[in-house]
Amino acid sequence: MSGRSSAGGTGTQSVDRAALLVSTVVQADEPLTFAVLQEECGLPKSTTSRMLTALERTGLLERDDSGSYVAGHLFWLYAIRHDPWEELVRLARPTLERIGEDTLETVHLSVARGDRVVQVAQVESQFMLGTRDWTEVDVPGHCSALGKVLYAFEALEIPAGRLERPTEHTLATREDLLRDLEQVRRRGRATTIDELEVGLAGVAVPVRGGSGDVIASLGVSGPTQRLDRRRLDELGATLMDRAEQLSALLRKRRRTQGVA
């Protein structure tokens, strides 16, 4: 009887310690090194090592490229089933940051939710004259390169009614939009110049999910005086390369984890 009580107590203690490690990692604002994790949890080094190995094996924790600990794929599998864009943002973040470093402009990642274009991630411009935070802004899809991509590749239904015209450069009719979208499909990227706001330009490309369908648009925006048509073409080529790398990562993720 005493043996069973002792075993039960030891088992509960192990669960408590494992839960503490997982909770500490999941609630942290950044990946945690072994040393930091051990110190924050107040566990012996051998115990920490043994439990982290088990937590990695079961998919509750994993290590990033630097060897620090982050939430494991089971958390992301759960997130993908309840909010698929959480996983997309997590996987896309390094790509967005690299584009930001290469271009110095504002970088965007957008998806379709219902009949709206919703920005789910952004990297700020490194120029003093840049663009605003668009994550909480409702932008008509036909006025943005990001939205045009989602329309062109059937991730978003093309609007049937009259088009809103924020500026005189905005596409005037549904027929104008359809012609523009045909060019987007042919070129593999969309552009806007002064269509949402005079002085604002952008370019965007499609991101394909694990099944090959377009699930998001990846773009760059900035002042028209910096982003003329030649510069937009250059940025578009860069974005297409980065988007293909991200799409390949999503395909790999689908194969290894069995998720979309």
**pLDDT 10s digits, 154-176:** 999 998 878 999 999 999 899 99
Q: Is the pTM of this model over 0.75?
A: no
β-partners of residue 191 are 203
* pLDDT, position 130: 61
> What integer is the mean pLDDT of 197-221?
94
- And the tokens for 177? 């939009």
Predicted confidence band at 85 (pLDDT cuts at 50, 70, 90)? confident
For 5, residues 6+ apart whose C-beta sits below 8 A from its C-beta are none
* pLDDT, position 23: 94
In the chain, where does DSSP find H-type helix? Answer: 2-27, 34-41, 45-57, 73-82, 84-103, 145-152, 174-187, 229-257
> What integer is the mean pLDDT of 92-96?
94
DSSP label of 144: S
Residues 98, 103, 106, 111, CA torsion sign: negative
Q: Which of 163, 158, 196 is nearest to 178 (CA)?
A: 158
**pLDDT 10s digits, 38-54:** 999 999 999 999 999 99
Which domains does the chain show, CATH number per domain? 2-71 (1.10.10.10), 82-257 (3.30.450.40)
SS3 for 165-189 is: CCCCCCCCCHHHHHHHHHHHHHHCC
Q: Which of 63-77, 104-118, 163-177 has the lowest mean pLDDT?
A: 63-77
